[in-house]
Amino acid sequence: MVKLKICGMRRSEDIEMANRYTLDYIGFVFADSPRKVSYEQAKELSELLSDEIVPVGVFVNEHMKLIVDLFKDGIIEMAQLHGDEDEKYIRNLKDKSIEETGKQIPVINAIEIKDGADYNDELLKWRDSASDYFILDSGKGSGKTFDWSLIDKESEFFKNSIFLAGGLNSENLALAIGEFNPFAVDLSSSVETDGFKDEEKIKDIIKIMENYR
């Protein structure tokens, strides 16, 4: 069973679609992006979100206080980190979340896969990370796929639960799932038209995902 996350939600219409198709995760982007939302926007949107769907905050080198405050207020339930956050940062974030809320915030740690590099040794460095999940991506919302052949799918790294992102769309989604057997897939720009979430494109993805959910 593969879970579905759609990132970059920023309108009430987006949340209505998420609820209608019972997504597993949605992403609120707090980093610089055309899809960036404020604290108040995310709060209003999260209040509209079905309890069955997990809201994820997406951050780049963010101060821990904002992440913990969002978690404490129930606006997000997980943190997705796309900057230079190291293992010390991740452990401190988890400790801080326990201090403030009594609960440990789950972390999705992003690893950017760039063409022309050997990532298999790099991936193994994260094998015993405090991160709960990893997301393999081609960049921060680049909308492009990375070279899937760069990754050894038999690596011990894949004992971790993996979100797969980077240019996934209705044409390559089934192939990507067959290649990686990920815990979840993550889409954003490929389900948009003119920068806004497009229900017809989301419906196309939902139809494909029926084979895996």
Residue 184: is its pLDDT beyond 70? Answer: yes
Average pLDDT over residues 57-65: 97
pLDDT at position 88:
95
Amino acid at residue number 22? T
Average pLDDT over residues 171-176: 96
Residue 177: is its pLDDT beyond 90? Answer: yes
Q: Which two structure tokens, joined as six digits, stand for 135?
A: 């997301």
Stretch among 36-45, 47-56, 85-94, 129-138 having the lowest mean pLDDT: 129-138
* Residue 130's pLDDT band (cuts 50, 70, 90): very high
84 noted as active-site residue? no
Q: Which two structure tokens, joined as six digits, stand for 38?
A: 């404020």
- Judged on CB neighbours under 10 Å (0-12, 13-18, 19+), 57 is buried
Which one of the listed residues 115, 137, 147, 194 is annotated catalytic? 137
* Residue 92's pLDDT band (cuts 50, 70, 90): very high
Which comes out higher in pLDDT, residue 213 or 198? 198
Mean pLDDT of the chain: 93
Residue 127: is its pLDDT beyond 90? Answer: no
Which one of the listed residues 7, 14, 24, 186 is annotated catalytic? 7
137 noted as active-site residue? yes
Q: Which two structure tokens, joined as six digits, stand for 159?
A: 């004992």
Which comes out higher in pLDDT, residue 44 or 112? 44
* Residue 142's pLDDT band (cuts 50, 70, 90): low
3-state secondary structure of 186: strand
pLDDT at position 155:
82
Residue 208: is its pLDDT beyond 80? Answer: yes
